[in-house]
Amino acid sequence: MGIKTLIWLLPLPPLLAFFIIVLFTNRKKALSHTISVGAAFLSWLGSMVVFFFAVQKGAHQLGEHPFASSINWLPLADKWLKIGVMVDPLTAVGLFFVAWTVFMIFIYSIGYQNYGQPKGDHDQKGLPPHGATVIDEQGHKHKVPSIEPMYSRFFAFIGLFAFGMYTLIISDNMLTLFVGWEIMGLCSYLLIGFWYAKPSARAAMIKAFITTRVGDVFMLLGIGALYAFTKTLNFREIFFNEELLHKMATTPSGFFGLSVAGLIGILLFIGTVGKSAQFPLHVWLPDAMEGPTPVSAMIHAATMVSAGVYMVIRMFPLLSAGAQHGELTSPMMAMAFIGAFTALFAASIALAQNDIKRVLAFSTISQLGYMIAALGIGAYVAAIFHLLTHAFFKALLFLGSGSVIHGMEHGIYHVDEDIDPQNMFNMGGLRKKMPITFWTFLAGGLALSGFPIITAGFWSKDEILADAFSNGHWMVFGTLAFAALLTAFYTMRQITLTFLGKPKTRAAGHAQETHWTMTLPLVVLAIFAIGFGWVGIPEQFPLIGGLIPNWLHDFVITTLPHHLGEVGFNWAPLLTSLVVALGGLFLGWYVYKDVPAGAEDPLKKPMGFVYKVLQNKYYFDELYDIIFIKPAIWFSETVSYLWMDRKIIDGILHFIARIAFQLGTIFRDWFDVPVVNGFGDFVGESTKKIGKSLRVVQTGRVQQYMLIALVITVATLFYYLFSVFTP
């Protein structure tokens, strides 16, 4: 099997798993998860093989001649729109992180959905499991977690999702990328609303779909415009065509003074704003936490939301077309601004969240903002680097939080306490009860905070700051540095509240470490959260720079037609990043180290009104409800349907009908009845009389009728033949 065939096959196992489970094995739990995880394994294996071959081929070779293969898909006019797959350096590293995170999360899901546990006492489809009562050998009743009632369905959905993500990554063109993009959107919708009977989940699933669709329709326009202008959607045909890019950058589009490249770039970027939950379309991601935690980890941290960033990274040559001498193009400026703003904005909200998953959700929004901002200032490699490290450590953190929630639930069942298992102020002291979860979560948390040298997050975040600094984008640099401080602070707040100190509730005291299917993925991801930074250590970094070559930079940079150089080393950004990371971590620990059970957030009083605003996410949900959702419903129901269609249009029709009706009445009363009917009656009466006189023929005897018929037929025939044969 050739490498190209293998690339085509990568997305298929999870898709097949989806269909097999939905159609055949949906009642068999063990078989379903075996198929699904097995499919994820096959895709993982294939990806590793492809990755290995890609690396072996060498950066420059692969950059110039990626593994690519395409087929005719749509006949349009006298040409074909081709679709295909391609593995260039960017795809290769993308495959690497997708394969690992997806595979790990599939394994984790087995434990998370309580495989091996008994059926729940009152569990219903569409609601999370509520626990089962078991009687042990001594006759004591225990309440234990119960298995998810829609277990097989879950594995089918995540299979379909994996298909979407693999499709997106290996696409060589914008169209199939968009196909994968939207399939993931559907899965995100289905999985956020996995427990569809919960009204909150139902609201969240729709919110997610519609909010991202706002971005998607702009993106669709962008794709249409791109295709119309370039006559192709193939990435390399566009990016490696210097002349075309130049033409796009210099042709005015006629909209807002943008060039064609600028307009298309911004339209596509709006797609990313939706998908990667950037301001102002960020509102859906926190609510998406309604879904099961593996979903949050996979879709809403590691892969789908990252795909938004991946897309703009992919489109970078187009977005930066026309940029000269460090000047940013319009799309890049938009990205730098939105990205940096979102990074800070979301980080500030995370400070005041108490739900362990919501903190991570805002953290994800914030970190995605980092990547977007990085790309906006042209820090291409840094954006990719942070995308990779973030995928690992954020997936790890989410899975860790799921493990914590599970441990807490175990404790809650044990002591029968009615508390929220996701509220961090109910936790505390879990490091002793759940050591594996603790150590791995710590690794992820430190990576997120950018703890120096040993964590992957440090290297990638530092590179973004260094790039912003050395290119003189002070605003971006300052904003991101401040956001990094907040990040370290809320991360340490989370770790301190959850794991350190003493248990704040009885349930937390009885929490239990989770099953190996959950802890194994944590350990694997923790290794990446620590170690993955070493592939991208800058050459000129003091002491350790150059010990290991900056492999990542050399590898992915060949994706671009023009290779960018590494930025020079400077102490200022390094010191900044050391100060904010360590400072934030220390403050987070210091403020929250002794929060007693039942106490409020120590910052709530001193911050007062600001805290409330942060806790309520700057009231964006309420604001959007007033200015978008309510008016849209009112407009649809009242203006568009009731007033326009029913009152005005139908009103006019009814008016015309009424006139016609009344005209008809007039005609009938003044013309029909006296004139026509008078005449008609006369005709009728006469006919009756004639009929009477003809009645004699109607004997009712069939023979006689037949005879008459025969006579007439023969006569007619005779007449006909006669007329034909007479010259």
Partner 1 sequence: MSFLDNNLLTLILFFPVASSLVLLFLPGKEKKLIRWVALLASLVPLILSIILWLNFKTGIKGFQFEEHYVWYSAINSSYHLGIDGISLTMVLLTTLLIPIAILASFNIEENVKAYMVLFLLLETGLLGVFVSLDLLLFFVFWEIGLVPMYFLINQWGSEKGERELWGGIKVKARTYASFKFLIYTMTGSLGLLLAIQMIGVVSGTFDLPTLFASWTTLNQSLFGLPIETVKTIAFWAFTIAFALKVPVWPFHTWLPDAHTEAPTAGSMILAGVLLKLGAYGFLRLVLPLYPVESKHYAGALAFLATMSIIFGAFSAFGQRDFKRLVAYSSVNHMGFVVLGIAAAARVQGTENAVIALNGAVLQMFNHGISAAGMFFLVGVIYSRTHTRNLDDYGGLFTLVPVYGGILIFTSMGALGLPGLNGFVSEFLVVRGSWPIFSVYTAFAMVGLLFTGAYVLKGIKQVLHGPLNEKWIGHLSEISAREVIVIAPLMVIMLWIGVWPAWILNVINRAVEVLF
Q: Which residues make up the interface to partner 1 (CB under 8 A)? A: 22, 72-78, 124-126, 175, 178-179, 181-183, 186, 189-190, 193, 196-197, 199, 202, 205-206, 209-210, 213-214, 217-218, 220-221, 223-225, 227-229, 254-255, 632-633, 635-642, 644-646, 649-650, 653-655, 657-658
**Beta carbon of residue 123, minimum distance to partner 1 (angstroms, whole number):** 11
- The burial class, CB within 10 Å (0-12 / 13-18 / 19+), for 223 is buried
Among residues 656 and 721, whose Cβ is nearest to partner 1? 656
**Beta carbon of residue 693, minimum distance to partner 1 (angstroms, whole number):** 36
The whole-angstrom separation of Cα 458 and Cα 449 is 7
Residue 382: which residues within 8 A CB-CB, separation 6 or more? 374, 460, 463, 464, 466, 467
**DSSP per residue over 619-665, as a string?**
GHHHHHIIIIIHHHHHIIIIIIIIIIIIIIIHHHHHHHHHHHHHHHH
Nearest to 314 by CA among 68, 481, 560, 500: 560
Among residues 226 and 495, whose Cβ is nearest to partner 1? 226
**Beta carbon of residue 722, minimum distance to partner 1 (angstroms, whole number):** 24
Among residues 175 and 607, whose Cβ is nearest to partner 1? 175
The whole-angstrom separation of Cα 444 and Cα 393 is 5
**Beta carbon of residue 75, minimum distance to partner 1 (angstroms, whole number):** 5
67-76 and 79-87 beta bridge pairing: antiparallel
- The burial class, CB within 10 Å (0-12 / 13-18 / 19+), for 34 is middle
Question: Is there a contact between 76 and 114 (Cβ–Cβ < 8 Å)?
Answer: no
Among residues 625 and 645, whose Cβ is nearest to partner 1? 645
Among residues 217 and 715, whose Cβ is nearest to partner 1? 217
**Beta carbon of residue 152, minimum distance to partner 1 (angstroms, whole number):** 11
Among residues 263 and 377, whose Cβ is nearest to partner 1? 263
Among residues 152 and 367, whose Cβ is nearest to partner 1? 152
Helix orientation angle between 474-499 and 356-376, rounded to the nearest 10 degrees = 160
Among residues 660 and 714, whose Cβ is nearest to partner 1? 660
**Beta carbon of residue 630, minimum distance to partner 1 (angstroms, whole number):** 13
Among residues 78 and 416, whose Cβ is nearest to partner 1? 78
Among residues 626 and 656, whose Cβ is nearest to partner 1? 656
The whole-angstrom separation of Cα 186 and Cα 201 is 15
**Beta carbon of residue 23, minimum distance to partner 1 (angstroms, whole number):** 10
Instruction: Tally Cβ neighbours within 10 Å of residue 547.
Output: 10
**Beta carbon of residue 43, minimum distance to partner 1 (angstroms, whole number):** 18
**Beta carbon of residue 429, minimum distance to partner 1 (angstroms, whole number):** 37
Among residues 153 and 406, whose Cβ is nearest to partner 1? 153
User: For the chain, first and last CA: distance in Å?
Assistant: 84
**Beta carbon of residue 455, minimum distance to partner 1 (angstroms, whole number):** 38
**Beta carbon of residue 78, minimum distance to partner 1 (angstroms, whole number):** 8
Joined tokens for residue 295 = 């979903």
Please give the single-letter amino acid code of residue 460. S
Compute, in degrees rounded to 10, the torsion defined by CA atoms 532, 534, 538, 540: 170
The whole-angstrom separation of Cα 568 and Cα 565 is 9
Question: Is there a contact between 459 and 536 (Cβ–Cβ < 8 Å)?
Answer: yes
Among residues 211 and 449, whose Cβ is nearest to partner 1? 211
Nearest to 498 by CA among 285, 701, 629, 355: 355
Matching residue, tokens 């996701």: 422
Joined tokens for residue 341 = 């703003």
Joined tokens for residue 630 = 């309510």
**DSSP per residue over 141-169, as a string?**
EEEE----TTHHHHHHHHHHHHHHHHHHH
Distance of CA 293 to the CA centre of its chain: 15
**Beta carbon of residue 640, minimum distance to partner 1 (angstroms, whole number):** 4
The whole-angstrom separation of Cα 704 and Cα 662 is 52
